[in-house]
Amino acid sequence: MRHYQAFINGSFCNAADGRVMETINPYTAKPWATVAQCGKEDVYRAVAAARAAFDHGPWRTMTATQRGAILRNFGDLIAENADHLAAIETRDNGKLYAEMRTQLRYIPQWFYYFGGLADKIEGAVLPIDKPDMFVFTRREAVGVVAAITPWNSPLLLTTWKLAPALAAGCTMVLKPSEHTSASTIELMKLAKEAGFPDGVLNVVPGLGADVGAPLVEHPGVDKVAFTGGDIGGRHVAEAAARGFKHVTLELGGKSPQLIFDDADLESAIFGVVSGIFAASGQTCIAGSRVLVHKSVHDAFVEGFVNLAASARLGDPMDLETQVGPVTTEAQFQRVLSYMDIAREGGAECVMGGGRARVEGAEDGWFVQPTAFTKVSNDMRIAQEEVFGPLLSIIPFESDEEAFTAANDSIYGLAAGVWTQDMSRAFKASERLRAGTIWTNTYRAVSYMAPFGGFKHSGLGRESGQHAIDDYLETKTTWMSFGAKTGNPFVIG
């Protein structure tokens, strides 16, 4: 079995106490590698290395143009190794190799975009309201950033933090999910080759309680960038508040897809299938709540079931497979438990509804693509994030009713709108309280498009030019070139 070590101050190393954890392939439900299982001592070493690299290292004295060039080298190296990294991710999280490969091949764009931005971070000269003063602002790196990430798209979500943080001049300690640490560790070989000085990037694999919590609480950390569930997010936000640290959070969702009576139904069905069954529903942006106009409800359900029922479940490494397993056994049990919750709540199962058996992978954590009708928006399956291939279908009669139901959620990450009437589409874009509104499309993301959530779905935005602001502090410098006059005891 392969073994993946921690990466601290430019070197791969085992956990201080020598502990290791297994990482499991969800397709076989068997371990395929071991990973260093770090603890507090390793966190302290990693933060010390990141702190030293920020306070004294060459990263600080390098020009922004030089830093940008290293980011672009990194992007090139990731492009060359994309398929290899994607295969590691598929082994770890069971998501389709076809999807992980697409993500990995796209990731370099974030490093090119933010690498290009590194030397365009400008301050301002202020037309100050006092005589004989020159006042200017500089925008400086916030310092040491702790990046804590989940298992569903390990390197993509890490990149959303890495690229702007490094472009800003920060140093980092990465804490990948305990279920999918291997690709982040493998990435560090490329980081070394790209030219990042020692200590700029560190990876401390381990459990949330053993590594995540002490990392967030460490006084040497200036900012925490977290992606994960709301329980972990709340812990992180509370700990960051206690230390007055900067924090950005990308959390969960229960994203609605609104299908109006004038929608192109074929496109809408395509978008809903991809919104809920891609990645076996394990995406924060899963379109898990369909709100469909009563007049097209039955036609939608029929077309949706026809298309979704053709899904090929199987080995996620096989490019022909359309639906893979879910990532962890706990997640598998949780998704199945929501099938019971849906039935007990009075919903009607129109497809799937239980465990799927896949030939050759009898132990694999496969769940049938599942949909329920007769759902009302107040049921638990319409309100709680399932993070699996389970769709709730809810009918509506008026636009107003659809907007109200869509917004009646603690979450606000994304929404899909299916209509051919552009004035209705603009109205929906205005009325829906979510960070991303997709109209006649779903799941599109880009390095230039800000991404993040309203309400319990998070704080701050990743991607797009302004993402870099979350990794910067503004410093104001006052310079006087006039004589000192007036009363020295009065500020004026």
Residues acting as catalytic residues: 250, 284
| Token pair for 227 | 């992606």
278 binds ligand NAD (CB under 6 A): no
Shortest approach of ligand NAD to residue 453 CB, angstroms? 6
| Token pair for 255 | 């994203």
Q: Which of 10, 123, 195, 229 binds ligand NAD (CB under 6 A)?
A: 229
Three-state SS at 286? coil
Shortest approach of ligand NAD to residue 382 CB, angstroms? 16
Asked whether the CA dihedral 376, 382, 384, 389 is positive or negative, the reply is: positive
Nearer to ligand NAD, 57 or 206 (CB): 206
Q: Which of 8, 36, 148, 351 binds ligand NAD (CB under 6 A)?
A: 148
Shortest approach of ligand NAD to residue 211 CB, angstroms? 7
- The distance between the two most distant Cα atoms of the chain, rounded to a whole number of Å, is 87
Among the residue ranges 12-20, 146-154, 185-193, 293-301, the one whose residues contact ligand NAD (CB under 6 A)? 146-154
177 binds ligand NAD (CB under 6 A): yes
Q: Which of 186, 222, 385, 470 binds ligand NAD (CB under 6 A)?
A: 385
Task: Rounding to the nearest 10 degrees, give the CA dihedral for residues 195, 196, 197, 200.
Answer: -170
458 binds ligand NAD (CB under 6 A): yes
89 binds ligand NAD (CB under 6 A): no
Other CB atoms within 10 A of residue 134 CB = 12
Q: Minimal CA–CA distance to 99: which of 316, 252, 315?
A: 316
E strand spans, 65-116: none
| DSSP symbols for 307-332 | HHTT--B--TTSTT--B---S-HHHH
CA distance 272 to 304: 8
Alpha-carbon separation of residue 110 from 14, 72, 473 (angstroms): 30, 9, 22
Whether 168 contacts 194, CB under 8 Å = no
Binding residue count for ligand NAD, defined by CB under 6 A: 30
Alpha-carbon separation of residue 426 from 70, 245, 423, 451, 461 (angstroms): 41, 37, 5, 19, 22
Nearer to ligand NAD, 72 or 456 (CB): 456
470 binds ligand NAD (CB under 6 A): no
Nearer to ligand NAD, 99 or 399 (CB): 99
Per-residue string for binding with ligand NAD, 232-271, x by CB under 6 A?
Answer: x--xx-------------xxxx------------------
| DSSP symbols for 241-283 | HHTT-EEEEE-----EEEE-TTS-HHHHHHHHHHHHHGGGG-S
Shortest approach of ligand NAD to residue 273 CB, angstroms? 20
388 binds ligand NAD (CB under 6 A): no
Nearer to ligand NAD, 148 or 221 (CB): 148
**Could you tell me how many residues make up the chain?**
492
182 binds ligand NAD (CB under 6 A): no
Alpha-carbon separation of residue 10 from 180, 190, 191 (angstroms): 21, 11, 9
Shortest approach of ligand NAD to residue 290 CB, angstroms? 18
Among the residue ranges 12-20, 111-119, 126-134, 170-178, the one whose residues contact ligand NAD (CB under 6 A)? 170-178
Per-residue string for binding with ligand NAD, 404-443, x by CB under 6 A?
Answer: ---------x------------------------------
| Token pair for 232 | 């972990």
User: Which residues of this protein are in contact with ligand NAD, per CB under 6 A?
Assistant: 148-152, 157, 175, 177-178, 207-208, 212-213, 216, 227-229, 232, 235-236, 250-253, 284, 385, 387, 413, 453, 458
